[in-house]
């Protein structure tokens, strides 16, 4: 039986166009900073990708600073600004742990930022969509409030890019973080899209690349793949939006089988592809192993770099009790997902739920 991959929020398969672009650039030699013919060719590849990445978020090409991924982009945004910093309590760890003086902004039970708690700061960071729950934040409203106090606004759009339309001007933000492997590009490349009036302190120093704020020879091949993925992701926004029907079907059928199942963030607007579901009484780790044995790949939204299931700071910020949070898994659809994949997951989830309830009844 073919495996079912439903962990697209962790990474999504590379698109054929991105593989082709990466391979073509890999066959060429040239440092994008060199002035000779091969260097100019490498520079042209980088600048072509820069245009495509900028278009994905309604920005201008010269706003794009290429990085080694979303984590570095977030660190550059957080550490590149001097002054007081506030961020929502459900941000990715690469935002919350980028510096020690970040003031957390609380969220409600659905994981939506409490607008009345947005205080004055030099920089406010709020993600567009949460990586664990898919909950969409009211970024434009946050930006309006923050700018009254003169704050700059950063938005981690790593999970939202390619899944919903993004326009930096409409959002009113100053900086946006992106990651290629979330939209079908290669791993190890991302971007911080920052307005040119933003004075960023370089985190990596020693060269004048990327507007002088990100030293190091550009990864031309990966950047080429990023550009190709950005173009295709932008064209596929309508198809991604259609996944909401599959997600709703998944949640409805699970609730039919298990009325005690909990979908986190269900009362808020969410990404069309994401569902964070608790199976009360069954640990996330046990679920992940059971699904893996069934050929289905999902994740705990709180999976850490060691591959272990860690406590979710997102669910904790939402006020979810530890014993319930420990039973949550994340299902995330992507551009390769099919209705058959969803059906396989529903069947496997329902089977596991029935088996665990049978054990409970026998013990009782």
pLDDT means per 10 residues in the chain (364 residues)?
A: 94 97 96 93 96 98 97 95 95 96 96 93 97 98 95 97 96 98 98 94 83 89 98 95 96 96 97 96 95 96 60 95 96 96 97 81 46
Residue 281: exposed, middle, or buried by beta-carbon count in 10 A (0-12, 13-18, 19+)?
Answer: middle
Q: Indicate which residues carry an active-site annotation.
A: 304
pLDDT value, residue 211: 84
For residue 305, the model assigns a pLDDT of 53
Domains of the chain: 4-12+238-357 (3.90.1150.10), 16-236 (3.40.640.10)
3-state secondary structure (DSSP) of residue 95: helix
* Residue 363: predicted pLDDT: 42
pLDDT at residue 333 in the model: 97
Q: Which residue has the tokens 């004055």?
A: 120
User: What is the value of pTM for the model shown?
Assistant: 0.94
Q: How much is the pLDDT for 301?
A: 67
Phi-psi region of 235 (alpha: psi -120 to 50; beta: other; left: phi over 0): alpha
């Amino acid at each position: 039986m073919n495996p079912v991959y439903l962990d697209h929020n962790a990474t999504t398969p590379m698109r054929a166009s991105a593989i082709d672009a990466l391979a073509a650039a890999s066959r060429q030699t040239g440092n994008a900073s060199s002035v000779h013919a091969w260097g100019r060719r490498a520079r042209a590849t980088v600048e072509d990708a820069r245009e495509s990445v900028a278009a994905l978020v309604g920005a201008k090409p010269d706003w794009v600073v290429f990085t080694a991924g979303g984590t570095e982009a977030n660190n550059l945004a957080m550490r590149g600004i001097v002054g007081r910093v506030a961020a929502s309590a459900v941000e990715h760890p690469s935002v919350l742990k980028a510096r020690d003086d970040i003031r957390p902004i609380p969220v409600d039970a659905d994981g939506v930022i409490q607008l009345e708690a947005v205080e004055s700061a030099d920089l406010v960071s709020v993600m567009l969509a949460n990586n664990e729950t898919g909950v969409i934040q009211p970024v434009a409203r946050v930006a309006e409030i923050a700018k009254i106090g003169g704050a700059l606004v950063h938005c981690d759009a790593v999970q939202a890019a390619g899944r919903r339309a993004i326009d930096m001007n409409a959002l009113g933000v100053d900086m946006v973080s992106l990651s290629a492997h979330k939209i079908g590009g290669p791993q190890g490349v991302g971007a911080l899209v920052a307005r040119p009036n933003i004075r960023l302190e370089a985190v990596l120093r020693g060269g004048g690349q990327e507007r002088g704020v990100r030293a190091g020879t550009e990864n031309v091949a990966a950047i080429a793949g990023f550009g190709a993925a950005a173009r295709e992701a932008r064209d596929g926004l309508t198809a991604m939006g259609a996944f909401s029907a599959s997600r709703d079907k998944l949640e409805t059928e699970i609730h039919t089988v298990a009325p005690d199942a909990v979908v986190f963030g269900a009362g808020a607007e969410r990404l069309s592809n994401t569902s964070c579901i608790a199976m009360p009484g069954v640990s996330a780790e046990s679920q992940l192993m059971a699904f893996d044995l069934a050929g289905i790949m999902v994740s705990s939204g709180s999976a850490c770099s060691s591959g272990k299931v860690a406590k979710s700071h997102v669910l904790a910020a939402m006020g979810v009790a530890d014993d319930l949070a420990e039973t949550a898994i994340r299902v995330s659809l992507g551009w390769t997902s099919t209705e058959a994949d969803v059906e396989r997951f529903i069947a496997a989830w329902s089977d596991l739920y029935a088996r665990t309830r049978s054990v409970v009844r026998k013990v009782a």
